[in-house]
A = this chain, B = another copy of it.
């Protein structure tokens, strides 16, 4: 299905579905379901799936996806998949150039992450069977190709791992920053005045310990590099400031 690009109506967008074609190992289906749950995807489509025994590896590997994604998966024919969805086929093996369009050109998962928000059709990420992936016949019927950049010496990822990486890269389609488990680091980053006080205190300490005058600027530059990279939190900067202040004042107290 292709969206009509001259149609300007805003449409409600659902996250891409994940389709697995002819997987042999139930464990891989479970692994994919778990990655879907981890990154906010919900719709699992299965073409010619292996048997998914509730006491077997599919459910064993699915983590919390065993409660919803796996039991709610839809079994369908490959024909219906390509008819009903904008399909993105994932493959490790692309063509070298544009003489054949079956496996070329391709997008990387990172490319897709940028571009997919503009695709308004129901979309499915399609993963093929273990070992041989999607066949040329299948890829020829699929709308576009996605390939994960990997080591040229061994670019073939395990099915579950390929799906995990793709869903990770596309998490922006389903999860905003506020939907992740990670707190907002900006909120606690040390303010510039605090960081400036920290460098001033380092300067005082260098003077106090008679650090050679001619090395002062170079050492201060080194310190700025170190703490610049470290992205201190306000609390870290204040703790460090306290430590440095005490270190600076100690010799004077000893000298009294």
Contacts and interface: CB of A to CB of B under 8 A. Distances in A.
Interface in A205-256: 218-219, 222, 225-226, 229, 231, 233-236
A168 B180 contact: no
Size class of the contact patch on chain A: 35 or more
Given A182-B149, A188-B98, A234-B98, A38 B154 contact: yes
A54 interface: no
Contacts of A226: 5
Interface in A125-184: 147-152, 154-158, 160-161, 164-165, 168, 171, 174-175, 177, 179-183
Contact of A38 (B97, B104, B155): B155
A151 B185 CA distance: 17
A34 B229 contact: no
A179 B151 contact: yes
Nearest to A190: B98
Nearest to A175: B151
A160 B49 CA distance: 23
Indicate how many identical chains form the complex.
2
Contacts of A197: none
A233 B149 contact: no
Chain B CB within 10 A, most for which of A5, A63, A151, A174: A151
A235 B149 contact: no
Residue of A35, A38, A94 most packed against chain B (CB within 10 A): A38
Given A180-B149, A234-B98, A61 B218 contact: no
Given A98-B235, A161-B31, A63 B149 contact: no
B152 A181 contact: yes
